[in-house]
Amino acid sequence: MAAPSLAADTRDTKNLPFLYRHYPREELLGALRRMHLIRKFEEGAEESYMRGLIHGTMHLSIGQEASAVGICLPLTREDQITSTHRGHGHCIAKGAEVKRMFAEFFGKTTGYCGGRGGSMHIADVSTGNLGANGIVGGGIPIAVGAALTAKRLKTGKVVVSFFGDGANNEGAFHEALNMAAVWKLPVVFVCENNKYGMSTSTERSTAVPNIADRAAAYAMPGVIVDGNDLSAVAQASHEAVERARRGEGPSLIECKTYRYRGHSKSDRNRYRTKDEIDEWMANRDPIERYEAELSAFGIATAEELEAVREAVRAEIAAGIDFAKESPAPVVADLADYVYTEQN
């Protein structure tokens, strides 16, 4: 028997986790679709790289899907984000089209940045994505600037700044949090703590046990969540976003998560054990956990879950074909979108 349609969604949700009390079935399945889309996009990008279709490097977030999707759930299209070098999931969670992302990876003119940005520099202002950033912590002050604009112009927008654990030891992190707190800006700082800044563990690089502990120094809430639990991430994001909309200022959310792949394609993964990686994959996978909840709470059948996966596989295949068939830039257009036109 199929799960009830959205129109007939009469689930008793009062004893369920936050996500299932605040979002209808259609949006719950939409969140699953985006999580699968992120993972399959990155697996498709990885395969394309191995086949020589993509050059350079890339930083994959496989294993961190719940963080990106959960944080973006309460955001509107008009709200904005800044991203990181490991930002594909953020782009997709905020509404990017995978076909244009693949085209960007392939260096084609139909990519989000005309093929000039590649993996680390995808931006889509139309969906509020102010851009990924190859500089560690580089997006944090940009988010504060965007939040200042939102406050001064009274647009009602909230800005989310994603960054990794390595960025919390950058000066820009501390300067940005202080300024945002002083001016009570509508910005949410989201640290995706996957335990390693490149090959250095947070235990070796950061003086405090939790990065969220640093929020106290800037008089803002510091929240620690299981970054692989979609409901926990969504609840923390919802509360921080609503606080920002009320004019009460910024929050810092630390999502404890894990990346299955190395730091980049050149990472030989010698700083962590196979047992550690396998344990996270086997017992803490965010997609498997979410699918298990959807089944346990009667929201989707096994057949419906497989239908989501199949639709995602088809979209990814079509996206790769789109990228392959798109035109490459020509030398005569080399300076387009790089330099401003001279009057």
CA-based nearest residue to 226, from 280, 166, 181, 183 = 280
Q: Give dist(CA 225, CA 227) in Å, integer.
A: 6
CA-based nearest residue to 65, from 22, 21, 35, 20 = 35
For residue range 38-76, what is the model confidence (pLDDT) as tens digits?
999 999 999 999 999 998 889 999 999 999 999 999 999
Task: Tell me the two tokens of residue 195.
Answer: 């335990």
Give the pLDDT of residue 94: 97
Rg from Cα positions in the chain: 20
Strand extents, DSSP E, the chain: 80-82, 159-164, 187-193, 196-197, 200-201, 222-226, 251-256
Least confident of 11-15, 22-26, 229-233: 11-15
Whether 9 has a pLDDT exceeding 70, the answer reads: no
CA dihedral for 41, 165, 234, 74, sign (positive or negative): negative
Q: Give dist(CA 65, CA 80) in Å, integer.
A: 19
CA-based nearest residue to 195, from 205, 185, 187, 186 = 205
Bridge-based pairing of strands 222-226 and 200-201 is unpaired
For residue range 178-204, what is the model confidence (pLDDT) as tens digits?
999 999 999 999 999 999 999 989 999
For residue range 277-321, what is the model confidence (pLDDT) as tens digits?
999 999 999 999 999 999 999 999 999 999 999 999 999 999 999
For residue range 245-275, what is the model confidence (pLDDT) as tens digits?
999 999 999 999 999 999 998 888 899 999 9
Whether 222 has a pLDDT exceeding 50, the answer reads: yes
Q: Torsion angle, CA of 170/85/237/186, rounded to 10 degrees?
A: 60
pTM to 2 decimal places: 0.93
